Amino acid sequence: MPDLDRIVQDIAAEMRARPDRGAVASYIPELARVDAQGFGLAVIDGDGRIAAGGDADTPFSIQSISKVFTLTLALGMVGDRLWRRVGREPSGSPFNSIVQLERENGIPRNPFINAGAIAVTDVILSGHQPREALGEILRFMQFVAQDDSITIDERVAASEKRTGFRNAALANYMRSFDVIENPVDYTLGVYFHHCAIAMTCRQLATAGLFLAYSGHHPLAGHSVISGERARRINAIMLTCGHYDGSGDFAYRVGLPGKSGVGGGILAVAPGKASICVWSPGLDAAGNSHLGRIALEMLVKRTGWSIFGV
């Protein structure tokens, strides 16, 4: 077993000192206020042993990382029927691309680009009031993170609602194909709010454990989903979790991972650990710049890449 405490401390120290930090997301005004100096890393294994470094206990906006958990919930609700409304191929396009949606008749490429995640949110919303659907998502996050104190940052949600014109365009376009069934405002409201959930690296790493252990959550003591479903979600994280940077992330890190524009990345080392890293500066594809570099270092030292040592 690698000396995780040592490795995590070394990485946190090195990342703190690096001058290249990427650029904080500015299209959501509330996220533009976040200090680019933050860096946190948490690694948790199936026995609940945790190695944490830097700002691992600072809450940040989980943004698109929430899409892993909404996908899990939607699959639980409608099973494979979900794939009638959203594909599961990498997009090769930016996370908020509009042009691909027109070419493909309103069916988003995968559940992790914005259009796909909005369609998934719409599935969770159907038959419920927005407040109930959001409550369901938040309670699920609290359960898998084993922490009832997790909340939504209402300022981030409001900020995105005020400026989310592109997401509104995607949602309206999908509505015209009946890929979205509910009033667009309701679906977007739930989507913006689940993206605005605030969590720490420690909480998110804990939340990802069921994906690292074949659907079984070792700390909750029972299964969240089947092993087959966990394996499939991990596959979509690997191929689509970093948008048009997914190939590069697989090449450099070699773990299923999901990024968010808040600067977080959740990564899954099957059978080994669940990992969350946070650094708010992003690269050109909207993925955490230092987050990816830190994971690359972690995988090099642990030999955890799914592609071999």
The residues of the shown chain that bind ligand GLN, judged by CB under 6 A, are 63-64, 95-96, 114, 160, 167, 195, 260-261, 286
Question: Where do the H-state alpha helices sit in 27-112?
Answer: 29-32, 66-78, 99-103
Indicate which residue of 64, 246, 279, 288 is catalytic.
64
Per-residue buried b or exposed e for 255-280, using 16+ beta carbons within 10 Å of the residue's own CB = bbbbbbbbbbbbbbbbebbbbbbbbb
Terminal-to-terminal C-alpha distance of the chain: 14
Amino acid present at 218: P
Among candidate residues 8, 61, 191, 259, the one labeled active-site is 191
Annotated active-site residue in 8, 43, 66, 67: 67
Q: Is 226 a catalytic residue?
A: no
**Is 191 an active-site residue?**
yes
Q: Which lies closer to ligand GLN via its Cβ, residue 40 or residue 215? A: 40
Minimum CB separation from ligand GLN for residue 102, in Å? Answer: 19
Cβ neighbours for 52, distance < 8 A, ≥ 6 positions apart: 8, 40, 41, 42, 43, 201, 202
Task: Confirm whether 243 is a catalytic residue.
Answer: yes
Shortest Cβ 303–ligand GLN spacing (Å): 29
Is 67 part of the annotated catalytic residue set? yes
Considering 261, 268, 277, 299, which one is annotated as catalytic?
261
64 is catalytic: yes
Give me the least distance between CB of 3 and ligand GLN, in Å please: 33
**Residue among 114 and 302 whose Cβ is closer to ligand GLN:** 114
**How far, in Å, CA of 169 to CA of 309, rounded?**
44
Closest CA to 122 of 76, 163, 79, 70: 70
Name the residues annotated as catalytic. 64, 67, 191, 243, 261
